[in-house]
Structure 1
């Protein structure tokens, strides 16, 4: 059937905006905005918003290509930019079945194909186009049987996904705890206590708490003006900038940078070319991302860099920055919109310092233990991915009649 044989566009508008505001998500369909994690600012007035009744199909016209649609189980209102389609009184329309069908991967792909727009992110599905689209309509009793079957099977899959996600979260917490405890207490911590730190209850004998600047030279970066094009031509010197922050998550060695600078640019910058094995730390915007330079590089002003002396292993300092000190970076930040760790705070950093051979044993031990936990996390993430693929395939197969669910238990 054509959608227009099942549905018609509902044109009702709210007179005072007092109805419950609904939200449409590609993940969870239609539901009260108050129950969803919505970051967009709510309009000052909801007058003129479109009225939604239970069983109405609601489509976010701008995000239908992402699957932002669903059959509502609630009465309320939605943005006037959304499409609201109401079942015809005599139409064979089981809401649960059509919620699955319209949100299925294949039907969303078909809506994307017939949507209009210059760019994929600007595609729109307009009412006249949607209502012309064809839709498979099994008998009403089969719709109910399919919906019952999917309710059961999806609940099982979703339970499995939730269990794996809880396991992943527990493994990540375990990973963090292992790395922090070992970094601050050693691979084989002693029962004797030499000092007490805010972030560790016990410090093994032979360890010290020292200012970081006493064992590493602190360097700050700089970015020369972009007005001189020759400073940014014929570039080959690696330049650590905020463009690299995203690649630093969980990466020990920074092999290459997103940007490079020329010799002329370096000559007109107060930044210096720093040696390999320098440890960099982002101090603006996304604060606390860290990596070790694998080759000589320079940095922008958004990074602090430590050139480690003979008493400090760069990989041990990276471990401290990556894990043990992460919860405390927030306490050093200031600024309401752009968060920053100031140079004065950076100079005040103090770290636990084991003997150099112990630092290296700690790093080797953590590499081994972390690899085991990471393998378990990767396995669980793969199970979640497979379960979600199974979920989508099962819905498509059921709503298109590829499997017979009658009598299924």
Structure 2
């Protein structure tokens, strides 16, 4: 038998933490920024702060509390955690956390599983308030949340069942993640083999492989305020997604001042700061754009295959040169003079296209396997949440349930 009880009768929502007041100003305790809040062994409790550093403006919690992210998209990602192992049993962290302190009638791990059910996440998402991109779950959602409450004995049976089955699902998911990483490593090795140079290739500085009328240059020094109807410009952080809608925009006047750095579809853009050496091809849907000072335009010469150059720049042989030529310690930068002198090993133009065609076959096979593994991870994630939701909602008897079918439909 079970009853349905509002969460406020089973746990304290955002309670005080009296033990914090007993600390001295120089006493250290665990500190959790949002990026450290992850379920399971991904939780990072290594950071420390003194009491006087976090005495105001931070969320306080203690061992045994459940931390529920309140802001989008972290809440929807199911990143609630049951906290333990804190320094001295106490911690502080970002204000974007709700603290739920379980009472005697509910098992803490059972309550954590409640916070990972489909209905919990969807109900919370529906009650978010605030502007787009900064929406938050109100504490009233937690206080008024109806919780199915079986006996403590039954709660612990459900927890034991879920711990076993979720561990099995997570193990399969980790195997697929490892497979994706190994496929990426295999593709990098194949790229090094095909584009890293061989006997008969000519060692050539990059500046001799580019269009003489469009030399390697960096772009806008100061982009100015965002100009919604202006010209898009590319920053180092944009190289994974060069779609126009994802880019910042500068005024037409600033763009005209730096027109020398304008990029065309098919040009290459390389990061000169931060992720030095990252490279992307400008897509056709970006007919007009500029760059920041942290990126450089590379326009291939007529006798150089752009796709060959794109891959050759990503080889270990070239990336190591970029790293060696970069200057600075905490904020490393590769300057244009050094980039122009990076050496590539160049086959004749017909051989370039043959190498590209050969690599495309490997890349396609690799992509197919990686997509399949990613699909399996998505299926496992769906099965994981469905299993938690069904068990917490009492839709089957965990004492008679078999774990043999929890990954049905997922290849292993």
TM-score class normalised by the smaller sequence: 0.7 to 0.9
Specify the alignment match of 1:213 in structure 2. 207
Q: 1:124 to 1:264 in 2, by over 3 A?
A: closer
Give the match's secondary structure for 1:304: strand
Distance 2:244 2:228 in 1: 21
Unaligned stretches of 5+ in structure 1?
186-202
What is the match of residue 113 of structure 2? Answer: 100
Deviation at residue 112 of structure 1 after TM alignment: 4.2
2: CA distance, partners of 1:292 / 1:242: 14
Q: 1:326 to 1:255 in 2, by over 3 A?
A: farther
Change (3 A) 1:399 1:244: closer
| CA separation of 1:273 and 1:44: change in aligned 2, threshold 3 A | same
Give the paired residue count. Answer: 376
The answer to whether the 8 Å contact 1:13/1:51 transfers is no
Aligned alpha-carbon RMSD (Å): 4.1
Equivalent residue number for residue 52 of structure 1: 62
1:28 equivalent among 16, 39, 42:
39
Q: How does 1:238-249 map to 2 (within 5 A)?
A: 241-242=234-235, 245-247=238-240
TM-score by length of 2: 0.75
Corresponding position of 1:394: 387
Asked if 1:109 corresponds to 2:119, the answer is no
Secondary structure (helix, strand or coil) at the match of 1:21 reads strand
Q: 2:349 aligned with 1:366, yes or no?
A: no
**Aligned mate of 1:176, from 168, 173, 188:** 188
The separation in 1 between residues aligned to 2:118 and 2:280, in whole angstroms, is: 39
Residue 374 of structure 2 is matched in structure 1 by 381
Tell me the alpha carbon deviations over residues 274-295 of structure 1, each in whole angstroms, 9 at most, x when there is no partner.
Answer: 7765433232444323344567
| 1:5-20 to 2 correspondences below 5 Å | 5-8=9-12, 10-11=15-16, 12-14=18-20, 15-16=22-23, 18=27
262-271 or 150-159, which deviates more: 262-271
Offset of residue 211 of structure 1: 1.9
Deviation of 1:111 (Å)? 3.5
Counting only pairs closer than 5 Å after superposition, residues 204-283 of structure 1 correspond to structure 2 as 204=199, 206-216=200-210, 217=212, 218-223=215-220, 241-242=234-235, 245-247=238-240, 258=247, 268-269=257-258, 271=260, 277-283=266-272
Moved more, 305-314 or 352-361: 305-314
Q: CA deviation at 1:323?
A: 3.3
Structure 2 CA distance for partners of 1:77 and 1:105, relative to 1, 3 Å: farther
- CA distances 1:7-61 after superposition (whole Å, capped 9, x unpaired): 24553232116575275866316997435xx7x988754568745243x444455
Asked if the contact 1:179/1:323 (under 8 Å) is kept, the reply is: yes
Decide whether aligned partners of structure 1 residues 377 and 31 sit closer, same or farther in structure 2, where only a CA change above 3 A counts: closer
Displacement, 1:145? 1.9
Measured in 2, the distance between the counterparts of 1:225 and 1:326 equals: 28
